[in-house]
Amino acid sequence: MAETKIKPKLSSASQEVLKRRYLLRDDNGKVIERPEELFERVARHVAGSEKNYPKGPGFRKMALKFYDMMVNFDFLPNSPTLMNSGRELGQLSACFVLPIKDSMGGIFETIKNTALIHQSGGGTGFSFANLREYGARVKSTSGVASGPISFMTAFNAATETVKQGGTRRGANMGMLRVDHPDILSFITCKEDNGAMNNFNISVSLTRKFMNALEKDKDYDLRSPLDGKKKGTLNSREVFDLIVKQAWRNGEPGIVFIDRMNRDNPTPKIGEVESTNPCGEQPLLPYESCNLGSINLSNFVSDSQIDWDRLRDIIRSAVRFLDDVIDVNKYPLKEIADMTKGNRKVGLGVMGFADMLVQLGIPYNSSEAVETAEEVMKFIQTEGGQMSEELAKERGVFPNWKDSIYKEEGRKIRNATVTTIAPTGSISMIADASSGVEPLFAVSFIKNVMDKDELVMINPVFLRIAKKQGFHSEELMKKIAQKGTLHGIKEVPEEIRRVFVVAHDVSPVWHIKIQAAFQKYTDNAVSKTVNFPHSATEKDVAEVYELAYKLGCKGVTIYRDGSREEQVLNIGKVNKKETQKAEGPNNGTIRQRAKVTYGRTMQVMTGCGKLFVTINEDRDGKPFELFSVMGKAGGCAASQAEAISRMVSISLRSGIDPKIIIKHLKNITCHRPFGFGSERVNSCSDAIAQALESFMSPPTLGIVKDDKKVAGDVVEIEIQEEIPFEEQKPVKEGYIGGICRECGGPIEYEGGCMVCRSCGYSECG
């Protein structure tokens, strides 16, 4: 391959991701592989399958083709294929589904198999619907069953102890049918944000349930033990509980299980019960799938889609993924048999948002929906035709005789061809937008070592800015701080219209784009529907119902900041307000009265809600300050309390509040929240903003109740209430927490957490 050894053009971010997660290392942890060597390793290993098919183009030709399309970032496979090709582990699949038998032996056999899969770099999906409900009789012990939720805890604990081959962390999908007797406990099992931390959960909604919901009727619960009726629930009440929990912290998601089984190509082989962790790949028990994504941003020339070049890459990508099935080392024989029996592949896309901006199309527009349908229809048609050609060259998949394709008279190599997966790390390698998501940001600030700040700019926007002459370092920093182009007058209006980011897109448009891709996707579409923090439960319900109406197979929603939200315990706050402040009394610090008056303000920070209580003296001046993190405990909470004590001492000592504000304001930590004037840089910045608001209310928000009564808590929201229907930029930003690998901020998109600093991703 020496004559075609093209070196990849890598940004600093791409290099960092490859170095941290993909390139080979020696026994001392030193990187011993260059990026081009990685792609050659993968190309050679996967193309090795071509040697088994004498009618094909051959090993050498396809190894060169595979290398070229990866090194140019036209196509990249899922992370395990990049990591493990040509290595001893050799496990190349991203997603698996394992069955769970209703017996102690069966349950712990699945836990063992889960550990093996996670160790090899894969993620697992399960349906717990076959486990008998809590309280059901157990004949062997004359006892009662503990129910599926208790065993989910065991799966979660096992996952916590397993490191995925040193490169990926275990991820699970847990699903339960809506007609299972324990469904209410399942819906609320992640009410505590720290519970089931290695699980995404989804409720399998049946057609019967959706019909009952439409008529607001009750529906039956059935025991998995014998299928007998075990009571009824009101469909609307159950649906509202799902909505409430999703509104609170994004889980559970919903899956339309009958719709997935309607499209099951091999119903005689098995029934779809679960999906992989991010929800885009419905699989039969013991089935796995190999995924890969075409970078759509590479297929626009002179504001037109290059259909011929796209066709060529589609054909090569389908061949690549079919070859992966042959060279893969499967963690279990049952998985090898089922995977090779159906030969499912999942070809998807990344860079869709980048493609749109190059075409001059806003993401939140009917034209974007039409483009999504046109592009995905082309990929599905061309991919299906390539699979038919492979069937002539290599034969149909072994279970073809029991498939819908035999009934149709269509000979095809792969039971499924297309899947829209989240592209976490691989989209960072390719410098492309993730999956079919909108742009996260046009520009953002990345914190690097020694507290340096690096302004990261969308490459398409950077090219346009330079070409049209409005580029400057000062402007890029301004955009990075604001997070959106709205209100940036230096950028031409037609550019601002096109470069919409995730927080500019209403939930309805998220669903419309998802439905457009789903229309021409064999499997399913992984997509996060983003909501502003101000969204209501009714807003979430409307999107769920719209998703069902438009033909989606599942929905994952996320309301900004909700993962960190906890209910405020008023009693604890009031108790803090009446405690005597500790500190030395040397005659210069004023003593507090037994009763003081003030108000409590809520400020959203990157660590969660911070409730800042400021009380005043008889002259109406701030006298003391207390703060409580909505998320109990932790370093952030202790720091906020320490800052509050020092502020209180300073206020009682007569220091001007303006001086305190000056010294605390704009201190920045690694978990900022929000954009522009609404940005909260840290907990100390939040306290400064609250104190500043107290000095001149209500400049930072809306006072909902201005009565001042001893002990009252008056809430001030530090964001504007934005109606769900309005197409306005959302003023909140969400940072999902701290990256476990580099300590940087992580974001929630495509159904998983992603760190743009080091490339860590739950989903690859």
278 an active-site residue?
Answer: yes
From the list 95, 189, 278, 552, the catalytic residue is 278
Taking phi over 0 as left and psi of -120 to 50 as alpha, with beta for the rest, 166 belongs to: left
Quick one: DSSP state of residue 676?
G
37 annotated active-site: no
Rounded to whole angstroms, the Cα distance separating 382 from 294 reads 13
DSSP secondary structure code for residue 89 in this structure: S
E-strand spans in 257-351?
274-275, 282-283, 288-295, 300-301, 304-305, 345-350
Q: Which listed residue (133, 280, 624, 747) is catalytic?
A: 280
- Give the containing element (helix H, strand E) for 200: strand 199-205
- Is residue 249 within 8 Å of 201, Cβ to Cβ? no
Instruction: Kindly tell me the burial class for residue 617, based on how many C-beta atoms sit within 10 Å of its own C-beta (0-12, 13-18, 19 or more).
Output: middle
Positive or negative CA dihedral for 280, 282, 288, 294? negative
Phi, psi (deg, nearest 5) at residue 29? 85, 5
Burial class (CB in 10 A: 0-12, 13-18, 19+), 763: buried
Are the C-beta atoms of 622 and 651 separated by less than 8 Å? yes
Neighbours of 502 (CB within 10 A): 25
Angstrom distance (rounded) from CA 396 to CA 393: 9
Asked if residue 223 lies in contact with residue 131, where contact means CB atoms within 8 angstroms, the answer is no
Nearest C-alpha neighbor of 599 from the set 532, 533, 694: 694
Partners of residue 627 on adjacent β-strands: 612
Q: How far apart are the first and last CA of the chain?
A: 27
Annotated catalytic residue 36: no
- Which of 156, 172, 198, 276 is flagged as catalytic? 276
Please name the helix (run of DSSP H) or strand (run of DSSP E) that holds residue 705, with its range, or none: none
**Residue positions annotated with a catalytic role:** 276, 278, 280
